[in-house]
Structure 1
Amino acid sequence: MKSLYNRFISFINTIRGKIAFYPTLFSFVGFNFAMLMLYLEKEGISAFVIEHVPQLVINNADTAKTLLSFLTGGIISIMVFSFSMVMVLLNQASSNFSPRVLPGLISNRNHQFVLGIYLATILYNTFTLVGINPQETDKYQLPGFSVLIGIVLTVICLGAFLYFIHSISQSIQVNNILDSIYKKAKKRLDQLIEKESENVPDFPDTSNWISYHSSETGYFQNIAKSNLIDICEKENIQLKILVIQGVFVLEGIPIIQVSKEIDEELVKDILSNFNFSRGEFVEDNYTLAFKQITEIGMKAMSPGINDPGTAISTIDYLTELFALRLKKNDRTIFTSDDNERSLIAVTTIDFKELLYQVMVSYRTYCKHDLSCIQKLFIMFKYLLLQQAHLPEYQDALQAEAKLLYEDSQTTIQNATDLRRIEKLYQSLPNVRN
């Protein structure tokens, strides 16, 4: 039962980033609320309201039908306009920034809530409209109170539409996109750092372990950690996950290593706790934030856009994320409940490789721009002054700073600029010439 629950929660975490997730839930609520109100109308709720507050209830069937039809048509119009704006937003974000930011924009919960309110109100008004019998002449038999609620929901839709216009205009601004990516990555890194334990038992050598292959294709999103730990303890095995989170996995490649041979049924049980998707989300994999922010910076430095200011802003956000990453261990190991035995080793991208992949892009596209080079050296100076979890992190920072210095020396010709770069490089703590 626990295993099914954990898989269900993991599945929900995967699909809630889809643009139709919350609108579908709201639609279900709107339909059921309409059914509830039809039931309450049969119990005489409108008659009760008419006796106490008659001014609030519409007691004419034709007026009620015309009003609900008009309101429903209006909501459909603004919903179509809202969907059109979402498409324009996604197209502009893909063109100006990076296609990788699209999953984050699509999964914006506030926009999904607005679209869900539209759909729920449309369904509610439609089924309330069906419940009006034009042959009824008795005002006590008309669903007047349900019509009143439909009017209130429509007013809420209008307010949601105004909020949607404001929010969508803010979402396309590059600073807001960068800030959103940064906050998601920071939250994820804080969670991982908090869960790390200093006294993690050593994980054994896995060179002679048995490998098992993936049965699915897609981006490796996450795992049902609790389920896998339970399986390891129950079967007395240890696992090593071979693929890095966020990597596109092809069917048939090695995905896990197990400390002993296991049957096919157990392999299927283990792999059923791996979540794959065709999209990528920073909430599941913080390294995607580094990739997305870097790509926005590179797009800004392309000849067609040529926006060093945006590139400098991306460096500021990367500086904060790298400073946080310095506090995290390169290895990720899950232990038993008593923390006495290592059960699962997860292959992760180490700090040196992460820094290199980011800097190789900036060195390629920004080495001719002095403002970006200065900002990168300021980043290195700041990071070298931070306390690192491992001494290898400092070595990686110094090595990348040296590569940046060498590239800038071969690209920039102005003697004054070269002296400034030399001064910045020499000001780095413990610089190695």
Structure 2
Amino acid sequence: MSGDNALKTRILHLLELLTVNFWMIPLLFLVMATILSFVNIYLDRVLFTGWGEILPFPFYFKDADNFHSLLSLTASAMLGVTGVAFSITIASLTLASQQFGPRLLRNFMKTQFNQVVMGFFIGTFLYCVLLLQFSSTLEEINLTPVISLTTLLGLIITDLLLLVFFFHHTAMSIQADTIITEVHQELSERLEALFPETLETSEHLPAAALQSQEHERFETQGDVVRVQQAGYLQAIDVTGLRDYVTEQDMALKLAVRPGDFLMQNCGLGWCLNQDALDEAKQAAINSYLIVGNTRTAEQDAEYAVRQLVEIAVRAMSPGINDPFTAITCIDRLGNALAFLLNRQFPAEQYFDENARLRLQLKPFTFSGIMAAAFNQIRQNTAFHVAVIISLLETLRSLAAQARTPEQQSAIRKQADAIHVACQDEIKARADLEDIKACYQAVYRFLPVPSNSQ
């Protein structure tokens, strides 16, 4: 069972990597073009040999020279169009990297429409080249390439339409609103997958009384588990890891979570074990962690959040000075946080059937995600009154929906930090009064802290 879950995690990780590879779909189109050219010429040889003399008009292109000229012309044109499309793609990637940040290149590379267009272009080119080879004896066997020619004409029409749509799509894809919408959509999908709907009960709650006892034992009595491969922690096979430590009669506490960078030989966590933690067990624990050179979004709840933050921070830089883009990012971040207000965060503790703690994870928290969403924007927005007001209005909307003390405390902490940060930077009294009014509006939806007088 543990092996099945580990395989599932590896497969999901592989699919995540394939979605950001630009070559995958074009490669499939090349394979399809190879098969299509062979099948079409074979069917033409079987079905339409000698038909040109019976029905000459529909089969005008049975002439070998005309057919070969059309194939050569199409192949040359497709190669040129592919070069133009590739140049436009590189130019748009360069512009996006400079204005919105290099990490946004991943979103452009995973756009399936661009991959399909490039696949059609190079697939048509390969189809023409292969047909030139397969139909080299066209006149000798009196072959009329009906199916091959019909397919070729269909590909030409499709390529021309795709070229027009490609220009339109490229012009739309480099607009700030489009990029922000796509990043927000990915963020929503990740949050939907990582954070389940709120439940009345949870399986890990009955044994929660053991939390404080085990928490102290891990760091004082546990053996340190070392990292064996440096890089970003991309995913954890939680089910497989839980089953392994249960089978070995161990308890494990991880001090890292997806998105963290692991340094070679640094502490990964602590393990409570009756026997010594040997190299084999260390390697086994590390095998349930997927480590790579870059951060990925598959289990990292803050990945897409940081993409929106990067767009907002760059928009407020002196070279760009676009507060409207920053406000759009804040609106999207606020919507994502509002989604989390009514969601249950994944369990951080896993117990066996005897209510013994087996696995303790480093959890994502609402306050942590809110800090990742707003801290850098707040720190770079001291002079932008409109952005400050947008932050406070977003916090007011979140405060009206907050249900737990943690959520209310995180909102209060952000509101206080924003209000304090702008006091020394904003000089106009009218602006300060507007900011103060928004700040007070946030507190109208928050209960008074218990330690306040």
The CA distance in 1 between the partners of 2:237 and 2:113, in whole Å, is: 27
> Is 1:10–1:224's contact at 8 Å kept on the other side of the alignment?
no
SS of the aligned residue for 2:136 comes to coil
Alignment coverage as a number of residue pairs: 430
Question: Is 1:173 matched with 2:175?
Answer: yes
Which sits farther off after the overlay, 372-381 or 340-349?
A: 340-349
Question: Is 1:83 matched with 2:86?
Answer: yes
Q: CA deviation at 1:339?
A: 12
Tell me the amino acid that sits aligned with residue 103 of structure 2: R
Question: Is 1:99 matched with 2:102?
Answer: yes
Change (3 A) 1:348 1:399: same
Q: Deviation digits for residues 106-150 of structure 1, max 9, x if unmatched?
A: 11122112212222222222222211124733333x544223323
% same residue: 23
The residue that corresponds to 1:350 in the other structure is 365
The residue that corresponds to 1:427 in the other structure is 441
Q: CA deviation at 1:401?
A: 0.6
The residue that corresponds to 2:141 in the other structure is 138
Q: CA deviation at 1:174?
A: 0.6
| Consecutive unaligned residues in structure 1, runs of 5 or more | none
The residue that corresponds to 2:337 in the other structure is 322
* Counterpart pick for 2:413 among 395, 399, 405: 399
* Correspondence 1:323-342 to 2 at 5 A: 323-329=338-344, 332-333=347-348, 335=350
* Counterpart pick for 1:372 among 387, 401, 413: 387
Q: CA deviation at 1:379?
A: 1.0
Q: Deviation digits for residues 405-427 of structure 1, max 9, x if unmatched?
A: 11222211222222222222222
Runs (4 or more) in structure 1 with deviation over 6 Å come to 48-54, 336-342
SS of the aligned residue for 1:55 comes to coil
The residue that corresponds to 1:307 in the other structure is 322
> Is 1:98–1:296's contact at 8 Å kept on the other side of the alignment?
yes
Which sits farther off after the overlay, 78-87 or 152-161?
A: 152-161
Change (3 A) 1:131 1:314: same
* Correspondence 1:107-186 to 2 at 5 A: 107-134=110-137, 136-140=139-143, 143-186=145-188
Tell me the amino acid that sits aligned with residue 362 of structure 1: I
TM-score by length of 2: 0.84
Q: Deviation digits for residues 323-351 of structure 1, max 9, x if unmatched?
A: 12333455643758989776544324433
| Consecutive unaligned residues in structure 2, runs of 5 or more | none
The CA distance in 1 between the partners of 2:427 and 2:370, in whole Å, is: 27
Q: CA deviation at 1:47?
A: 3.7
> Is 1:245–1:348's contact at 8 Å kept on the other side of the alignment?
no
Aligned residues: CA RMSD: 3.1
Tell me the amino acid that sits aligned with residue 81 of structure 1: V
> Is 1:367–1:408's contact at 8 Å kept on the other side of the alignment?
yes
SS of the aligned residue for 1:220 comes to strand
Q: Deviation digits for residues 213-271 of structure 1, max 9, x if unmatched?
A: 33333332223455445545554545444323123333332335444355544544543
SS of the aligned residue for 1:222 comes to strand
Change (3 A) 1:301 1:259: same
Q: Deviation digits for residues 169-203 of structure 1, max 9, x if unmatched?
A: 11101111111111111111112222776413246
Question: Is 1:408 matched with 2:422?
Answer: yes
Which sits farther off after the overlay, 364-373 or 188-197?
A: 188-197
> Is 2:25–2:119's contact at 8 Å kept on the other side of the alignment?
yes
The CA distance in 1 between the partners of 2:187 and 2:56, in whole Å, is: 53
Question: Is 1:190 matched with 2:192?
Answer: yes
* Correspondence 1:62-77 to 2 at 5 A: 62-77=65-80
> Is 1:240–1:257's contact at 8 Å kept on the other side of the alignment?
yes
Change (3 A) 1:249 1:196: farther
Change (3 A) 1:69 1:227: farther
> Is 2:196–2:345's contact at 8 Å kept on the other side of the alignment?
no
Q: CA deviation at 1:394?
A: 0.7
* Counterpart pick for 1:244 among 233, 241, 257: 257
Q: CA deviation at 1:287?
A: 0.8
Q: Deviation digits for residues 91-116 of structure 1, max 9, x if unmatched?
A: 11111112221111111122112212
The CA distance in 1 between the partners of 2:304 and 2:69, in whole Å, is: 51
